[in-house]
Every structure is written in structure tokens, then in C-alpha cells.
Amino acid sequence: MENKVTRNLYMIPYALWIIFFVIAPILLVVYYSFLDIEGNFSLVNYQNFFTSTYLQMTLSSFWYAFLITVISLLVAYPTALFLTRTKHKQLWLLLIIVPSWINLLLKAYAFIGIFGTYGAANNLLEFLGIGSQQILFTDFSFVFVSVYIFIPFMILPIFNALESLNPTLLDAANDLGASKWTTFRRVVFPLTIDGVKSGCQVVFIPALSLFMLTRLIAGNRVITLGTAIEQHFLVTQDWGMGSTIAVFLIIIMFVIISLTGIRKRGA
Amino acid sequence: MSRKSSPFANLFLVIIFFVLYAPIFYLIFYSFNSGGTMSGFEGFTLDWYKELFSDTRLLIIVLNTVVIALLSALISTIIGVFGAIGIREMKRKRNQNSILGLNNVLIVSPDVIIGASFLILFTMAGIQLGFYSVLLSHIAFSIPIVVLMVLPKLMEMSPSLIDAARDLGASRWNVLTKVILPYITPGIFAGFFMALTYSLDDFAVTFFVTGNGFSTLSVEIYSLARQGISLNINALSALIFLVTVVLVIVYYYISRRAGNQGMGGMRR
């Protein structure tokens, strides 16, 4: 009996944490989604969400997140594959991860300088004879910087999946006369699909909710679900509508997780 | 997967590394620019660093950030370790899984949702936005990470180790402090360290739960960056880069000792 009492004793802070910081916040968001701007109980937010403005925003948010995820995957997969073939691969992997530890805002700030009217990117374009372009505050800069930020998170799970691949399978494919491309398509890729899935999961969900980049890099041209939530909570103070969008984001999140499987980040 | 790397593969990797590091070194490079912009290097100067160190407001913000990070990492490590021990001792697998499911909610949730829901929570509970709301939310989002870092170590511990200690007459407290905690120390350190970096790095959650008059570094950089370029941010980022590299080396050393290969638990 003593066993049980002491166990419960030190579980108390953790249990309280689950109640107050995991369960309560979700319930509060759901509760607030039913309040209109005056604080009365109503379904007006849900009605609003299904008007063209919000549906279009959700759609474009999806489109950008999809683009960001696909481009990240196209860059990250070969990177992970080539990394596994290097000597000292753990060290190289660490070096890939280091930039992801630098504060996100600083990286965004760096791109304000690089993509600015007189920044390095435009200097390069001038040098190539293309001439100066408006790069900052465009869709391109938004997607580029997002991909830049997410790439390490895509590389890591794919790298781990490739690492746990049994090398004798490659020899077997080789012995059976498969070309390099066939081996990749029929053996390597299917066996590392779990890494790809968890990579997509850790990129897609945050990409739906980026809001600082839309402000700093996209100059408010791009509005994601995250931007809309931030706008409603901190600018227009319409917490009800913000919560409604949050509810949909949570639902989307659960759908994506159930599609790609729950996995520890980076595992 | 160990085959010879082709020249194409090497070139590809070189480009990736260049793109990943270029912005960081671009920032650091221009922190020494005597002209006030991030384009056109005029001459070498340390003025921006001098300005940085004479900016008391910014130094206080740095101090806030570090205090919040250390405190939240410490508290979340304590709560998380006990939580993990509790989860391990659960008899039924189903209970264990449902607790772990709840544990992971804050890890997969987008920052915006965590921030917004905590803002509602603190407002409802009547907690003033400022130091304590930021501290509480940092503790809250660090606990699940600590649990995830500690739990594997606990799971690999043989139960006969505890039985043996009990048979030899150790009290429950002794079992905890003399057997369990020393065994999982590497996991605890890794968890603490992860919590520390998450806290230092967080922007979105903090942005929602800071009131007027309290700010952390990320929030401050955001508001400065929205106003445009000022080279003391560059100087600051150079210093942060240095600190980060040191932290990464420390973490690498710890995780090597802990023996877990993948750098688990990463954030956007």
C-alpha cells in the first residue's frame, strides 16, 4: 500500500500539469469557439468559418504548407541519402542540425537583409545580368525561407530511417541485377517511407501555423491559419473566431497525425 | 547504407551546407560593418558590440530570457522525471499509452495553438501576463520533452535492480536516490538541456503570453526586425551563435555519454 501512496505523491505535479496545461487549454479553446465577439453563446463563428473568405484562406494555407513540405522533401531526401554515404556521417548530421538551433527570428531577420532591395541576392542577380528584383515580400521568399527553416527537421527522420536500413538488402538487389534507380525505387524508398512520413508530419503541421514569417518575410501577403489565429487573438481581440480557427487546426492536426502515424519527433 | 560517395553527391552536400550556413555568417559578417546596413560593407568596426553592451534594456531582456530558461528547465525536469517514473510504474499498458498520448499533445500541437490556449487559460485564471505567465508556459511545454528523454532510460532499467535493492533493505527513498536516479542521470541531463534550448528558442508561445513590460529575446528580436535592420541585432546574433555552438558541443558530449544516437525531440 505504501507503494501506491508515494507513487501518487510524486505523480501529483505531473497529473496537475496534464489537467491544467493539456486538457484544460483544449477545452477552453473549444468553449471560446462558441462565443461571439460580445461573449454570447452562438454558432456565428462556425458560420463565418464556412464563408468564402475563411475557406479560401484555409485552402491557400494548405497550398503553401503543401508546397513547403514537398520542396523540403525533394531537397532533404537526397541530402539524407548522400549524408549516409559520407565518412564521419554523425558529425555531418550534427552540422546539419546546428543551424536549426539558431533562433528562428534571427534566421528570418538574416533573410530580410539577404533578400532586401540592396541585399546579397539582388547583388547576385545584378552580377548575372538579370537585374534587381523585388524578392522580399513575395510568395517566393516566404516559401524559400520556410523550406530553409524546416529542412533539418525533414532530413533527420529520413537519415535515421536510411541508417536503419539493412545494407544486405542492397547487395541482394544488386546481385539480382537491379539497376541503381530500380533499387532505390523498389527497395530503399519503400523501406524508408516511415521516415518520410514523420518528416512530412513535422513540417506540414508547423507550416500551417507559421505567423511570424508571413509578417516578416511575406509582408502580410500570405495569410496562413496561424496568422489568422494570431490576428484574432492579439489584434482584433476576437478570441471566439480565433478559437474557431484553432479548433479546425487541431482537427486537421489529428487527421494528419492519424494519416502519418504518431511518432516521436526526429525518431 | 555505406557506399562510395559520388562527386555529384558531394557537390549537392556542399551546396546544402552553404545555403544552411550562409545566412548565419551573413549576419555575423555585417555585425562588423561600420555602415549601418546589411548591404555594402564599408569598414570594420566593433561599435555595434559596444552599443549592444551599453544597451541596458536589451541586457535586462537577455537576463530575463536566461532566467526563464534555467528556471523552467529545472522545474520541468523535476516534474518530468517524477512523471516518467510514475508512468513506468503503471501496471496497465493501456493507462500508460493514454497518459503518453496526453503527454505528446503539446509536442505535436502548433505553437500558435499552445500560445492562444494558454492566453485564454491565464486570463481565465486571473494570472497577470508577464514573468510568471511566461515561466509557467515554458515549464508546461518543456515537461513532455523531459518525459520523452527520461522514459527510454527508465524502460531499459532492469526491474530486478530495484527488487535487489529492496531485498537488501533499501527504503523507497533510497531506491529512488541511490538506484533509479543515478541510472537515469544521462537522460535527465539530456532532458534538462532540451528544455533549456526549447525555452531559449521559443517565440510563438511567449509572444502570446507576454504582457507589456516583459519581453524575451525572441519577442524583442521580432519587434526590432519588424522595424527594419539595425546592426546591433547582428552583433547580438553573432554572440548567440557562439553560445549556441558551445551548447551544441556540450549537448553532443552529453548525448554521446547517454548513448542515444538520434538527437531526439526537435522543434520547428
B47 within a domain of the structure (yes/no): no
Q: How many residues does chain A have?
A: 267
A165 DSSP 8-state letter: S
pLDDT band at residue A162 using 50, 70 and 90 as cut-offs: very high
CB contact under 8 A, A103 and B16: no
Of residues A13, A106, A209, nearest to B240 (C-beta): A106
Model pLDDT for residues A69-90, shown as the tens digit of each residue = 999 999 999 999 999 988 888 8
Q: Left (φ > 0), alpha (ψ -120 to 50) or beta: where does B266 sit?
A: beta
B42 — contact with chain A (CB < 8 Å)? no
Within-domain flag for B154: yes
Asked if residue B214 belongs to a domain, the reply is yes
- Smallest CA–CA distance from B247 into chain A, residue: A101
Q: Identify the architecture of domain A52-259 in CATH.
A: Orthogonal Bundle (1.10)
Q: What rounded mean pLDDT belongs to chain B?
A: 86
The pLDDT assigned to A259 comes to 82
pLDDT tens digits, one per residue of A211-265: 888 888 887 778 889 999 999 999 999 999 999 999 999 998 888 888 876 554 4
CB A41 within 8 A of CB A122: no
Residue B256 lies in a domain: no
CA-atom Rg of chain B in angstroms: 22
- Could you say which residues from 88 to 147 on chain A have a Cβ atom under 8 Å away from some Cβ of chain B? 90, 92, 94-114, 116, 118-120, 123
Q: Count Cβ–Cβ pairs < 8 Å, chain A vs chain B.
A: 270
The residue in chain A having the minimum alpha-carbon distance to the alpha carbon of residue B14 is: A79
The CATH number assigned to the domain holding B77 equals 1.10.3720.10
Give a yes or no: residue B16 inside a domain: no
Look up the domain containing B176 and give its range. 60-228
What string of DSSP letters covers A36-95?
-TTS-B-SHHHHHHTSHHHHHHHHHHHHHHHHHHHHHHHHHHHHHHHHHTSTTHHHHHHH
Element (H, E) at B141: helix B131-156
- Name which residue leads in pLDDT, A90 or A31: A31
pTM recorded for the entire structure: 0.86
* Residue B88 pLDDT level (bands cut at 50, 70, 90): confident
In a domain, B25, yes or no: no
Q: How confident is the model at residue B261 (pLDDT cuts 50, 70, 90)?
A: very low
Contact A77, A196 (CB under 8 A): yes
CB contact burial A248-267 (16+ within 10 A = b; e otherwise): bbbebbeebeeebeebbbbb
Kindly tell me if the per-residue pLDDT of A152 is higher than 50: yes
**In chain A, which residues have their Cβ closer than 8 Å to the Cβ of B5?**
82, 85-86
How many domains does chain B fold into?
1
Q: Which residues contact A111 (CB under 8 A, 6 or more apart)?
A: A136, A141, A144, A145, A148, A217, B23
| Residue B55 resides in a domain | no
Does the structure's ipTM exceed the value 0.90? no
Q: How does pLDDT run across B165-201, given as a tens digit for each residue?
A: 888 888 888 888 888 898 899 889 889 988 998 898 8
Query: Would you place residue A18 in the very low, low, confident or very high pLDDT band (cuts 50, 70, 90)?
Result: very high
Residue B217 domain-assigned? yes
